Amino acid sequence: MIKIKIAVGLICLILVTSCVNFKEIKCDGISGFRINKINLQGIEAIVSLKIKNPNWIGGYIYGGEFDVKYEGIDIGSTKLIEKVFIEANSEKSYEFNFKSDFKKLDLMDIMKLISSISAKGNIELKGDLYVGRFYIKKKIPILLKENVGLK
């Protein structure tokens, strides 16, 4: 009897949520870029992204993969590991940690990167964010180029 109630409850939940119209979650830009550590081996930084959720229900960013460029120098690719909760009906900045090594860069590019770090710089993110809630998951392509100040 309990198994039948659980099965009926799950079927009702699936039917109700399948009728709901979910709007696209958008990434509106880069609100900040902070370098925690940079040396000849790699970089650890935090990127703040402005994310808009027009839906009545919150969701999670489960991860993502980005190619990062700073001042035209390809820093490398990075993955977002921790999941972040996005509040419902909100437009807010969320911070993402990333760590990348300089395997693909030669010494001249590394020195140019270290010397070009100033109060403002051009940063480019290209990749995908994986967003969802429950069984609904979606890949959001990201291509952002902005001139942001370092914090």
Residue 104 makes CB contacts below 8 A (sequence gap 6+) with 74, 76
| CA distances for 37 relative to 86, 121, 147, angstroms | 27, 17, 20
Q: How many CB atoms lie within 10 A of CB 22?
A: 16
Domain ranges in the chain?
Answer: 22-149
Sequential pLDDT tens for the chain (151 residues): 787 878 777 776 665 555 556 677 777 777 777 778 777 777 787 778 888 888 787 778 877 788 878 777 777 777 776 778 888 888 888 887 777 777 777 777 777 766 666 656 777 888 888 887 777 778 888 887 777 655 5
Can you name the CATH fold of 22-149? Immunoglobulin-like (2.60.40)
